[in-house]
Structure 1
Amino acid sequence: MPRTRPLGPLCCPDLTDVNDAIRRLMSRPPDPARAEEYGRLLELWATACPQDGSCWTTAA
């Protein structure tokens, strides 16, 4: 569930939440919807990763 604050969503998704969502998604059979959702989750993951790239070795 996305974290929020009084003025709207926080700037960045939580990496742990995104990794968990990717793992759950990969347990589903492959289909076009799964592929589309995977792309969306990878974009979220890249947004949540610090600019220095320090989390790139922790991807789901």
Structure 2
Amino acid sequence: MSVEDVVDCTNDLLVDVVKKVLQWANLLSLANPVGQRYGQELWYIDPVVGRILAAIEE
């Protein structure tokens, strides 16, 4: 999942805010950076967190 994907899933959050949240999630082992692809920063999101995000999106 890219930072831009997370921004698209949330309403009105700035990219900088999402990056800070992902950094905290990394410290809590809820998300991990996996590199870059096509200029986008990619993250692995814990499956439980992914389900929560999907539920919120609905």
Q: Return the TM-score normalized by structure 1.
A: 0.32
Asked which structure has the greater CA Rg, the reply is 1
Higher RCO by CA contacts (8 Å cutoff, separation 6 or greater): 1
Which protein is richer in strand relative to its size? 2
Q: Return the TM-score normalized by structure 2.
A: 0.33
